Structure 1
Amino acid sequence: MSSAAPRFPLGPFTPYGENPIMRPRGDSWESSNLYNPAAIVEDGQVLLLYRAHAEDIVSHVGLARSDDGYHFEREDQPILSPEHDYESHGCEDPRISKIDGTFYLTYTGYDGTTAQLCLATSTDLHSWTKHGPILPEGFDTFAPVSGNTGRTWSKAGVIHPNKIDGRYFMYFGEGAIFYATSEDLIHWTPCPNDQPIYTPTKGDWDEALVEIGAVPVQTDDGLLIFMINGARAGEQTRVDYRCGQIAIALNEPTQVIAKMTRPWLRPQTFEELNGLVSNVTFVEGLVWFKDRWLAYYGQSDTTLAVAEYVPGRDSYNA
């Protein structure tokens, strides 16, 4: 991913004036809710792999393409749908990396009770090989937050496409954030469940949970910049989800060395304050495209939006 010398924190980002850029449509598989997209640039286009579902709330992953990053043409049918017991209630919240001609898609397989971080691979974005859940049974990314153990629960994996010290790193987690390493990008070894690298901040905007967002941006001065999501109880709603950033140094890839002290995006518009899960901005896609950064996010689990950062703009005002 090329860029105009990214630095931490990345931004400022400004929500696009014509958001939402995608909404549910028709009476099909994407008729009720459409949100939480992965993003990647291919052949001069921005591609979004987005989560959507009908009233049954069984999620599928769809594919949309854009020449300008704002206006998208969707394929009629989903490219990834539930097939197995572990994902019987949905294929949710994708993130994507391309490495040596292969797309590595992480997503949440949900069976109605348990969420598990899963992996699928493809060379054409249409024919997928599913590798199933990739973390050990009993790994619970909420355990450091809740204090409870014994449950299996995991979500949200982003794979850094370049090796660090001869290994690939994946950063993952909802509740707290962890890392895992791999030699082959298929089999992953996580850090200990009781040793997350990032946890919620008591009394802050992310005091209830943190969740990894988009695939990291590598800076010229040796940092990986991660979009993250954080939540706390809302004043009038059960949640308040906002978007922040953290940084990890390439020479210490298991330690968070910096964080934004306030979010760069928070719920403000009607769509962000009203929806399936109200009061939510949730980022999962980030690309460098046509001299700007584009961050794609879900609005209240119902619509899909974008914020842009053109290098040279003023400081944060979120």
Structure 2
Amino acid sequence: MNSSREKLAATLFKRYEHNPILTADIWPYPINSVFNPAAVKINGQVLLLNRVEELCGFSHLTCARSNDGLTGWVIDKKPTMKADQSNKEEKWGLEDPRAVWLEEQKQYAITYVSFSEGGPVVSLAITKNFHTFARLGGLLPPEDKDACLFPRRFNGRFALIHRPIVRGEAHIWLSLSPDLKHWGDHRVLLRTRHAYWDASRVGLACQPIELPEGWLMLYHGVRTTTSSQLYRIGVALLDLEEPWHVLRRSEEWVLGPKERYERIGDVNDVTFVSGAVVMEEKNQLYAYYGAADDKVAVAMADMDLLREYIMACPEVTE
């Protein structure tokens, strides 16, 4: 037990006082819910690419833009990216995007879940402007979710964090590719931990964030209780040049269901971070999350305290 580290973990992320920031009742067309957004900076604005659940139960993706990342959201008047019915893997919709800027390609890479009777598949799309998209299709076989690319190559290869289900187990994996088409060197990156808050399932939260100490990886952990599944957020630190090596991992969660908008919704007790941006002028990380699977909220963490916390977390020796 480390009481000072635990105290820091409990106060690291501060919820925006006017949460939730996006809800179905402000949407420009009829929907059931909005949640689990990707987040990037573009043209001086914060852009959220949100998962939007339609009244039939299928999902698509729609952009919302804000000058400060908190207020004044301008939402696309119609779906930004809908399922392409010529792609069988997208038959039942698009879910849970993550996005990252690929400096080499000068484009954004969007990884999202394509859903059909074949199971969830991680798919990839490329865009420069979030108006037009080039879809590159599925990357790996189902069942797979919670994926994002790193913003640069490692020894000439792209790296993908993702979460396949293998023998009913849900661990975080990392795979490598020379061309974004052919994937190999698959390895488990982060496992569930028996009896911990992340005992049942783990998955990537937002895109990896580069720090001087390594890659900051926020991840969600699930613990199954008698009444629900609790989705909370933890952190890990990956090696800067060999991100398949985990350097540190939090024992505590740093964000979990607490407020009413996180406790009650379409799926109770969920804080599901899926996008983040670094606000350099404030030295803060804005972490955007789906709250109870039917609204979008944001929590902020001071970057210096975030680095202090992750460096106080136990080293991983496995």
- Give me the TM-score of the superposition, normalised by structure 1: 0.85
1:246 aligns with 2:236: yes
1:211 aligns with 2:215: no
Question: SS of the counterpart of 1:196?
Answer: strand
1:131 aligns with 2:136: yes
- Aligned partners of 1:29, 1:203: CA distance in 2, in Å? 43
Within 5 A, what are the aligned runs for 1:1-318? 12-25=12-25, 31-71=31-71, 72-83=73-84, 84-99=87-102, 100-112=105-117, 114-135=119-140, 137=141, 152-173=142-163, 175-184=170-179, 186-192=180-186, 195-221=187-213, 223-237=214-228, 239-289=229-279, 290-291=281-282, 292-311=284-303
Aligned residues: 288
Amino acid paired to 1:68: D
Identity, in percent, stands at 27
Question: SS of the counterpart of 1:118?
Answer: strand
**Contact preservation (8 Å) 2:37, 2:98:** yes
Per the TM alignment, residue 42 of structure 1 is displaced from its structure 2 partner at its CA by 1.1
Per the TM alignment, residue 105 of structure 1 is displaced from its structure 2 partner at its CA by 0.5
The structure with the greater share of residues assigned to helix is 2
- Aligned partners of 1:29, 1:207: CA distance in 2, in Å? 39
**Contact preservation (8 Å) 1:30, 1:52:** no
- Aligned partners of 2:124, 2:255: CA distance in 1, in Å? 28
Per the TM alignment, residue 117 of structure 1 is displaced from its structure 2 partner at its CA by 0.5
Question: SS of the counterpart of 2:125?
Answer: strand
The structure with the greater share of residues assigned to strand is 2
Comparing 247-256 with 59-68, greater Cα deviation is found at 247-256
**Contact preservation (8 Å) 2:218, 2:236:** yes
Aligned to 1:148: none
- Stretches of structure 1 that go unaligned for 5 or more consecutive residues are 1-8, 138-151
- Give me the TM-score of the superposition, normalised by structure 2: 0.85
- Stretches of structure 2 that go unaligned for 5 or more consecutive residues are 1-8, 165-169, 310-318
1:112/1:15 CA distance change after superposition, 3 Å: farther
Per the TM alignment, residue 27 of structure 1 is displaced from its structure 2 partner at its CA by 8.3
**Contact preservation (8 Å) 1:178, 1:191:** no
Amino acid paired to 1:234: T
Per the TM alignment, residue 54 of structure 1 is displaced from its structure 2 partner at its CA by 2.1
Question: SS of the counterpart of 2:189?
Answer: coil
**Contact preservation (8 Å) 2:154, 2:242:** no
Question: SS of the counterpart of 1:156?
Answer: strand
Per the TM alignment, residue 300 of structure 1 is displaced from its structure 2 partner at its CA by 0.9
Which aligned segments of 4 or more residues in structure 1 are displaced greater than 4 angstroms? 26-30, 311-316
Per the TM alignment, residue 311 of structure 1 is displaced from its structure 2 partner at its CA by 4.4
Amino acid paired to 1:42: I
Per the TM alignment, residue 130 of structure 1 is displaced from its structure 2 partner at its CA by 1.3
- Aligned partners of 1:257, 1:286: CA distance in 2, in Å? 21
Per the TM alignment, residue 250 of structure 1 is displaced from its structure 2 partner at its CA by 2.1
Amino acid paired to 1:17: E
